[in-house]
Amino acid sequence: MKHLPITLLLLTLIIPGCSWFGAGEIRESLEKGSSKPVEIPEGLDQPKFVDAMHIPEVLDSRGLAGVDYEVGLPEALSTRFGVEPIVIKKLGDDRWIFLDMPPAAIWPKVVQFWEANNLLVEDMDPGTGILTSRWLPARDGTPEEIFSSLKQGDVFSNSTGVGSHKFRLRVEPGIRTGSTEIYLEHRAVEQDAPFRVDQLEWDGNSDNLELEGEILTVMAYYLGENVSQGTVSLLATGIQESRSQLIPDRERPVLKYRLDFNRAWATVGNALENARVSIEDLDRTSANYYVYYSSEHSPDPGFFKRVFSRGKKKLEGGENRYTVHLDSEGEEVHVTVFKDTVLAESLIAERLLKVIKEYST
């Protein structure tokens, strides 16, 4: 106890001591927003100072400058809710695998699938997400029999009843943030057919849609069993640009899709359905979905909320009726929200467009 006065004296000296080291000047500089540049005395080397981080210009698209605003959580890199994590999608003759995981996590498993099934690779580029097989001989038959023959790899190209097959696989960023889409294109040449392999062109169409679908199905099952193993390709991290972008604006927020109109139309309709947004009607000719939406809408309300909300008045009212409109703009499709015949209030339009974006596959 006899050392207590000395201890208190030391604490008394230490607590205000920070002001001896320029804390007041630091605080003043922070309040002013900047500090004076370092001055090098004459006679010493004068190095060139470069800002370590460039501060970009802030675009006030919502017009919030000078307005008190509560900042929420940032948008997730991958929002794994509301959709199946792995599913085969189909639109017309087009098929693809949708995975609610980023391409960098998918690419290594795709390469493993190719190797595990004895499909020899001619070229692959993880930076672009493209893998091309060699010309592979296989016995003729059903899609299942052809794929089985390809995996066995014991067929000679000059044998009877044998054709040659070549595949081009594309791993692309999905519409949904942090998701992936896998496409497969197939070329087939019959035995003794007059064909020059150096004149092969990939045009997005497969020679055998059933064989394409068979391989995509097997691949989807394989990825479902193995993709949880946490391997990531650093070379494939460049495959990350989403094909959808939400542009906020104080008057006209826009959701942009880098898709053809047919795919964008189906995507918006599917997203509204998955997000439980009530669709009153739709008109493909005018490119409109007529929906009921409220800012209190919850795409996944949970069990208890669904139970206690039974019997309550639904959203179907004029004040909650909106028009989701699609416009083709060059190689993009732009989605906007209207209230009657005028643009909807910007914040509620942005919320609805964000829901559509999050549930887009």
Query: What are the residue ranges of helices labelled H in the chain?
Result: 4-14, 23-32, 103-116, 143-152, 209-226, 261-274, 303-308, 346-358
- Residue-wise over 180-197: b if at least 16 C-beta within 10 A, else e? bbbbbbbbbbeeeeeeee
Percentage with pLDDT > 90 across the chain: 38
Give the β-pairing of 130-133 and 121-125: antiparallel
Q: How confident is the model at residue 19 (pLDDT cuts 50, 70, 90)?
A: very low
Banded pLDDT at 152 (limits 50, 70, 90): confident
Q: What is the pLDDT of residue 159?
A: 67
Concatenated DSSP letters for 27-92? Answer: HHHHHHT--PPP-PPTTS--PPP--SS--PPP--TT--TTS-----PPPPS----SS-SEEEEEET
Average pLDDT over residues 53-79: 61
What is the mean pLDDT of the segment spanning 81-109?
A: 85
Contact 130, 169 (CB under 8 A): yes
* Confidence band for 176, pLDDT divided at 50, 70 and 90: confident
Distance separating alpha carbons of residues 156 and 139, to the nearest angstrom: 9
The whole-angstrom separation of Cα 354 and Cα 335 is 11
User: Alpha carbon of 11 to those of 15, 21, 24, 361: distances in Å?
Assistant: 6, 17, 20, 62
Token pair belonging to 28:
């003043």
Radius of gyration of the chain (CA): 29
CATH of domain 244-358: 3.30.310
pLDDT in tens, 283-311: 999 999 999 998 887 776 554 444 444 44
Dist. CA 293–CA 41, nearest whole Å: 66
pLDDT value for 219: 93
Identify the weakest region by mean pLDDT among 91-100, 151-160, 234-243, 299-308.
299-308
State yes or no: pLDDT of 314 exceeds 60. Answer: no
Decide if 184 contacts 169 (C-beta within 8 A). Answer: yes
The pLDDT tens digits for 225-257 are: 887 766 655 555 556 667 889 999 888 999 999
pTM of the model: 0.68
CATH class of 86-191+202-238: alpha beta
Distance in angstroms (rounded) separating the CA atoms of residues 204 and 157 = 26
Tell me the domain boundaries of the chain.
Answer: 86-191+202-238, 244-358
DSSP state of 237: G
Tens digits of per-residue pLDDT, 199-220?
A: 678 888 898 999 999 999 999 9
Query: Higher pLDDT residue, 30 or 298?
Result: 298
**So what's the pLDDT on residue 155?**
75
Of residues 187 and 237, which shows the higher confidence score? 187
**Residue type, position 148, single letter:** S
Domains 86-191+202-238 and 244-358 share a fold: yes
pLDDT of 286 reads 95
Lowest mean pLDDT among 68-72, 180-184, 213-217, 262-266: 68-72
